[in-house]
């Protein structure tokens, strides 16, 4: 897989096919048994601890369901990385936090606590925190999960606009086909740990590969069967006899 600078790339596939595991490899949380992940010219699993931490400062991660610090305000959640990883004075941090919150439309929610936010608002705060340090790579793990249609559209639009504004590379792991195909530049389909298809959104919509067609159109039966493998149905009915 290749993730070019400035592009928004989706990784799709069935649950358990290795999508989130791939993100963990990219972030250096896991080391590959073979192959490698190269970012900014460096192979991730060859970095020492200091090198890995320095590389992670160039990354942003939007976790599924946001993962905000529940005992911190919206403002402090977004300011956290700036205070942790920079020596910026508090007045500069304040201006940067306001800029990030303004970008996601939540400047007026700076004093609210995570428990006071709706699901869509929490995801937008998490997005502001993700891009707090203007990362060169942003990873999204199921950014649309649990959102209503309006919030889903808002988050998708923000992901696209922030990627273009930052000139970053963005990787989205998602099951949401229709929303993702509206915003991404390229898609990889994974199954059983390998790439089974790839292409632009238009290419994948027109793809006649059985697996891709079933996945894109949400068909109930196909290469991924409705019934889990088992004995013949007639045998199952007579097992007690």
Residue 218, phi-psi category: left (phi > 0), alpha (psi -120 to 50), beta (remainder): left
pLDDT at 223 over 70: no
Give, in order, the Cα–Cα distances in Å from 23 to each of 19, 60, 154: 7, 11, 24
Cβ–Cβ under 8 Å, residues 104 and 26:
no
Per-residue pLDDT, averaged over 60-68, amounts to: 79
**Of 133, 179, 174, the residue nearest 158 (C-alpha):** 179
Q: What domains can be seen in the chain, in order of their start residue?
A: 8-237 (3.40.50.300)
Residues in the chain: 241
Per-residue pLDDT, averaged over 124-148, amounts to: 85
pLDDT at 75 over 90: yes
Q: pLDDT value at position 217?
A: 66
Residue 77 pLDDT level (bands cut at 50, 70, 90): very high
Cβ–Cβ under 8 Å, residues 76 and 114:
no
| Measured distance CA(166)–CA(72) in Å, rounded | 26
Predicted TM-score (pTM) of the model is: 0.80
73 Cβ contact list (under 8 Å, min separation 6): 110, 111, 112, 113
pLDDT in tens, 39-59: 888 888 888 888 888 888 888
pLDDT in tens, 5-25: 889 999 987 777 778 888 888
3-state helix, strand and coil shares in percent for the chain, rounded to the nearest 5: 45, 15, 40
Q: What is the dihedral of CA 163, 164, 168, 171, to 10 degrees?
A: 40
Residue 29 pLDDT level (bands cut at 50, 70, 90): confident
């Amino acid at each position: 897989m290749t993730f070019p600078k400035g592009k928004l790339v989706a990784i799709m596939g069935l649950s358990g096919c290795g999508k989130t595991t791939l993100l963990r490899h990219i972030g250096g949380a896991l080391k590959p048994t073979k192959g490698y992940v190269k970012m900014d010219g460096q192979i991730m699993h060859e970095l020492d601890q200091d090198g890995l931490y320095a590389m992670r400062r160039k990354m942003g991660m939007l976790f599924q369901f946001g993962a905000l610090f529940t005992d911190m305000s919206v403002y402090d959640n977004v300011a956290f990385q700036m205070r942790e990883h920079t020596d910026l004075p508090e007045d500069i941090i304040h201006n940067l936090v306001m800029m990030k919150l303004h970008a996601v439309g939540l400047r007026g929610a700076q004093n609210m606590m995570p428990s006071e936010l709706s699901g869509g608002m929490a995801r937008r705060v998490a997005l502001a925190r993700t891009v707090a340090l203007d990362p060169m790579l942003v990873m999204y793990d199921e950014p649309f999960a649990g959102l209503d249609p309006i919030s889903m559209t808002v988050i998708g639009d923000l992901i696209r606009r922030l990627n273009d504004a930052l000139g970053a590379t963005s990787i989205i792991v998602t099951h949401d086909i229709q929303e993702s195909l509206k915003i991404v530049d390229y898609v990889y389909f994974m199954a059983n740990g390998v790439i089974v298809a790839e292409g632009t959104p238009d290419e994948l919509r027109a793809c006649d590969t059985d697996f891709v067609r079933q996945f894109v159109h949400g068909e109930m039966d196909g290469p991924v069967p409705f019934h889990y493998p088992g004995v013949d149905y007639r045998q199952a009915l007579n097992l007690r006899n």
